[in-house]
């Protein structure tokens, strides 16, 4: 069996909900896989598991040298894929002829663009930052075109941010694990329970969503928010008014806690501003919702509407208060049975076209024909 090395950009203790099922589980049916994570605290190479290595983060641009010094035979790898880091990619490319391996680049999320959008939302953007991003993108595109395969999250992401990439490309989106689905717990309350998982900040403009909820008449709904900054979330909720009796804030400590919270709700919320950063990939939270057959209200964009159909296996709306309010009111008038059917259809849809087992088979095929 050929060997495959995946060099992540992830800390050893972060959530690996994408890396785990695809690379540690299903792709292992086709390749002998080693995975590299990084640590802010370690000063040398560490073999945590048989196929899992931890390296110092500040030396990631020397990854292969460190591994070789630790006794790892780099020439034994047929494929090396780098995730999100152009510095590591440059290092891996420079050694590809010496060790005779194929190189792939995985773009999971355009983090640099995200930071630019955050700066813009916080009035910290500048022409110098824009120019630097343009030059960095040009250099990164040149590096990617030296690879054997490019693995962006979506077609829209490639077209929006890396239209200059000309090498073989395979779309590698987030998905659901067909072997780990979570039962949707149908609560006994009469209210509809909405759920939002993720960050609340100026870029996501979640106040718009909360303002729509604040104008809903009656108390036949609840909104649960799970976020890493519950204090800030409470400040945002307090600033809107008319919400405290209907909003519950949590800070799920791990993925299992998050999935338990989701499973006890009726409708997931993933309504984001209409900007390229959010329109070019499927938020992981949507996959988390549907792993419990919890249907989702989401932004109507080119990425989402290629996956789902409005009012059949999801609900679409524009990102403005009135549109969100109307869609919430529409959902509140549905029976719990009708809501559950939308969730079940959405899960079936994702199992058909967006499951990790199928993606692993497609990726193995693409690698084997390089």
CA distances to 219, 260, 332 from 335, rounded to whole Å, are 16, 23, 8
Q: Return d(Cα 20, Cα 339) in angstroms, integer.
A: 31
Residue 309 binned pLDDT confidence (cut-offs 50, 70, 90): very high
Residue given tokens 């899960």 in the structure block: 347
- Of residues 125 and 56, more confidence is placed in 56
* Encoded tokens for 76: 């034994």
Q: Where does residue 179 rank: exposed (0-12), middle (13-18), buried (19+ CB within 10 A)?
A: exposed
Residue 290 has pLDDT above 70, yes or no: yes
Q: Return d(Cα 226, Cα 262) in angstroms, integer.
A: 9
CA distances to 27, 196, 215 from 242, rounded to whole Å, are 49, 18, 8
Do the bridges between strand 149-152 and strand 192-197 make them parallel or antiparallel, or are there none, so unpaired? Answer: unpaired
Residue 84 has pLDDT above 70, yes or no: yes
Q: Is the pTM of this model over 0.75?
A: yes
What is the model's pLDDT at position 48? Answer: 84
Averaged pLDDT for residues 27-40: 95
What is the model's pLDDT at position 161? Answer: 85
Q: Return d(Cα 13, Cα 285) in angstroms, integer.
A: 19
User: What average pLDDT does the chain have?
Assistant: 89
pLDDT tens digits, residue range 235-274?
999 999 888 789 999 999 888 889 899 999 999 999 999 8
pLDDT tens digits, residue range 180-229?
888 888 777 789 999 999 888 888 899 999 999 999 988 899 999 999 99
Point out which residues pair with 299 in neighbouring strands: 317
pLDDT tens digits, residue range 168-183?
999 999 899 999 888 8
Q: Alpha carbon 328 to chain centroid distance?
A: 25
Do the bridges between strand 52-56 and strand 46-49 make them parallel or antiparallel, or are there none, so unpaired? Answer: antiparallel
Beta carbons of 10 and 16 less than 8 angstroms apart: yes
């Amino acid at each position: 069996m050929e060997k495959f090395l995946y060099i992540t950009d992830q800390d050893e203790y972060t959530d690996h909900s994408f890396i785990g099922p695809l690379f540690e589980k299903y792709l292992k049916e086709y390749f002998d896989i080693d995975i590299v994570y990084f640590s802010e605290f370690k000063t040398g190479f560490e073999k945590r598991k048989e196929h899992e290595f931890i390296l110092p983060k500040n030396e990631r641009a020397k990854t292969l040298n460190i591994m070789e010094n630790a006794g790892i035979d780099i020439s034994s790898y047929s494929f090396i894929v780098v995730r999100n880091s152009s510095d590591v990619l440059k290092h891996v490319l420079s050694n590809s002829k010496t060790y005779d391996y194929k190189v792939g680049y995985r773009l999971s999320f355009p983090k640099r663009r995200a930071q630019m959008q955050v700066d813009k939302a916080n009035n910290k953007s500048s022409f110098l930052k824009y120019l630097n991003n343009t030059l960095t993108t040009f250099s990164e595109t040149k590096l990617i075109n030296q690879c054997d395969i490019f693995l962006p999250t979506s077609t829209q992401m490639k077209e929006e941010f890396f239209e200059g990439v000309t090498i073989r490309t395979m779309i590698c989106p987030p998905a659901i694990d067909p072997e780990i689905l979570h039962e949707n717990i149908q609560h006994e309350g009469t209210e509809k329970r909405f759920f939002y998982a993720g960050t609340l900040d100026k870029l996501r403009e979640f106040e718009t969503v909360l303002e729509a909820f604040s104008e809903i008449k009656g108390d036949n709904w609840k909104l649960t928010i799970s976020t890493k900054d519950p204090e800030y979330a409470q400040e945002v909720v307090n600033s809107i008014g008319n919400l405290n009796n209907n909003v519950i804030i949590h800070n799920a400590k791990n993925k299992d806690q998050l999935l338990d919270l989701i499973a006890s709700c009726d409708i997931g919320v993933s309504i984001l501003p209409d900007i390229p950063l959010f329109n070019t990939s499927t938020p992981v939270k949507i996959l988390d919702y549907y792993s419990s057959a919890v249907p989702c209200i989401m932004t109507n964009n080119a990425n989402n509407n290629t996956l789902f159909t409005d009012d059949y296996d999801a609900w679409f709306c524009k990102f403005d208060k009135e549109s969100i309010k109307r869609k919430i009111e529409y959902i509140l008038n549905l029976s719990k049975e009708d809501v559950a059917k939308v969730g079940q259809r959405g899960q079936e849809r994702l199992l058909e076209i967006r499951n990790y087992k199928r993606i692993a088979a497609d990726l193995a095929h693409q690698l084997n024909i390089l």
